Amino acid sequence: GSLGEPRALFALPSARGPLPPPHWPVECEVIKERIEHIEWVPPEPEPFCQPVGHEQAPVPLSEEQGTVVYHHSPAPQGSCFTRARVGGGPGPLSSPAVPLEGPQDTTLLFESRFESGNLQKAVKVGPYEYVLTLRPDLYTAKHTQWFYFRVQNTRRDPLYRFTIANLVKPKSLYGEGMRPLLYSQRDAQSHGIGWRRVGTDVHYYRGCGGEEPITFHLSWTVRFPHDGDTCFFAHSYPYTYTDLQRYLRALAGDPVRSRYCAVRALCRSLAGNTIYLLTITSPAAATAKRAVVLSARAHPGESGGSWAMRGFLDFLLSAHADAQLLRQLFVFKVVPMLNPDGVVVGNSRCSLAGRDPNRAYGTALRGSFPGVWHLRSMVERVLAEREVVLYCDFHGHSRKNNVFMYGCDDGRAGAGLRLRQRVFPLMLSKNAPDKFSFPSCKFKVQRSKAGTGRVVMWRMGVSNSYTMEAAFGGSTLGGRSSHFTVEDLKALGYHLCDTLLDFCDPDPTKFQQCLAEVDAWLRQRLGREPGSGDGWSDVSPSELESSTSGSDSSVSDG
């Protein structure tokens, strides 16, 4: 190819012909219908709801009193991945939903056997009340967070209550005003309305009863907009492997954009899905260019990362003067979906190896974590011939609002380098003041995070190595107190581009100004006088954090 990349032998999305269909583990059943959603941005911001205290948690209804109306549990616990095929299991589909008894039967029909879907069981415990169980990540017994399922046979007037009864995180943004997402097919077809925040009386609380392990419940009430509609609920705006392939096919078929963007296969996933690598740079001599490496969707349930990646690619591949400049200055190596298998099957954190890929960079075996292994060795190859000025891995966060970054400061470098670590996030916060929170950023390298992409890339020699975390909720900054829309998430990608130009500006004014600002900010936090001889190079990262991030020192999602 023109960009020095070998032509890959994998199924790449050609501009013609059907998209390569995803491969599923053979235990999974997959319905034939195509699930598609329109993209839409609500005209008004969607505010957080008033959080309700735990003491008013709804009266629990035990499943024993109810009727199981949906049950689909593909992989038995303790099993592990063996093989995959297009369309999942070869046999005829089972019927996990209970059939309706007639037109007067108001039971909802549930379905989750589609790409990125996750719902294991629904129990009807009242005329319009359901207790739901999510499916743990395949081949594991934990990581229930992501949900995405369809309901049919809706009624417009009644107030429904849904309670997800097997969540595992003690704290959630659902306890601070975040609301789930609803999509109405009829509203999409008739009014062009897409995913929107719904739910009143949203509770997040500890399950009572002595069950082990302890679980947490998410409960909300909602009215459906139409009788007899097909609706979907989701934890975050879905972005599937097929969505990515559709986007890449449009790129490959575009005579302009394909001149400076090569779409190749980095490798294949365990299930045989292609993990794509995009190389983006202007066709001019690439010899002196520095590199930028970006990745997303190591954690499949963090779909906001794909929307930020979409925004980044939309901007970088556009005709905008800044985009042209970026392509002239840098070689971009982009892996938009590191864990396509997890995305396909509707996992929250794991790949089909049943482990978190973002803890496997340090030890990754080529056979178990092909995406992580090939990304790491690709970066090693790039570092052999050029400087990598930035690595950024896009994630989602379930317990803190806004957008922030985790960087790398182990306290061993000199004060100058330790300050520099913090410049890129500070610049990003200035470019996206209504979304990005610099005070929420952390730079301490915890032992538990030694296997993450950012820490391993940093140890390999990428000095500006970050995880970018975008809240599942939204923003509390700049007078906002509202949920992120897909446009907000895409805007993060645009702002990353602005920030890269500021960060690498040959005129050092902005950079120096930010360095001074970080220095002053840290001194102020530590109560040291500006201008006094007291630097803070002797201060450990833990002390810097404890003075900067208040009480939120809980283990992060990254």
User: How far does Cα 177 stand from its chain's mean position?
Assistant: 20
Element (H, E) at 13: none
Length of the chain in residues, anyone? 558
**196-221 in b/e burial notation, b at 16+ Cβ within 10 A?**
bbbbeebbbbebeeeeeeebbbbbbb
**83-118 in b/e burial notation, b at 16+ Cβ within 10 A?**
ebeeebbeeeeeebbbeeeeeeeebbbbbbbbbbbb
d(CA 125, CA 72): 18
- Residue 267, φ and ψ in degrees, nearest 5: -175, -175
d(CA 230, CA 154): 7
Identify the DSSP state of 366.
Answer: T
List residues bridging with 136 in a β-sheet. none
Q: Whose CA is closest to 372, among 298, 483, 469, 316? A: 298
d(CA 291, CA 461): 13
d(CA 517, CA 509): 12
Q: Whose CA is closest to 207, among 131, 283, 319, 285? A: 131
d(CA 147, CA 121): 12
- Residue 157 Cα distances to 125, 154, 183, angstroms: 19, 9, 17
Amino acid identity of residue 188, one-letter, is A
Cis peptide before 439 (omega within 30 of 0): no
| Contact yes or no for 120/134 (Cβ under 8 A) | yes
Residue that the structure tokens 């610049």 belong to: 427
Question: How many CB atoms are located within 10 Å of the residue 366 CB?
Answer: 11
Q: How many CA atoms lie within 13 A of 42 on its CB side?
A: 15
Pairing of strands 403-409, 465-471: antiparallel
Report residue 495 as tokens: 């702002």
Report residue 11 as tokens: 């199924």
CB neighbour list of residue 32: distance below 8 Å, 6 or more residues apart: none
Residue that the structure tokens 């235990």 belong to: 27
> Is 469 a known active-site residue?
yes
Choose, from 55, 469, 487, 517, the residue flagged as catalytic.
469
Amino acid identity of residue 87, one-letter, is G
- Residue 471, φ and ψ in degrees, nearest 5: -60, 145
* Helix intervals (H) in 421-508: 423-431, 453-460, 486-503
DSSP-derived 3-state class of residue 209 = coil
Active site residues: 469
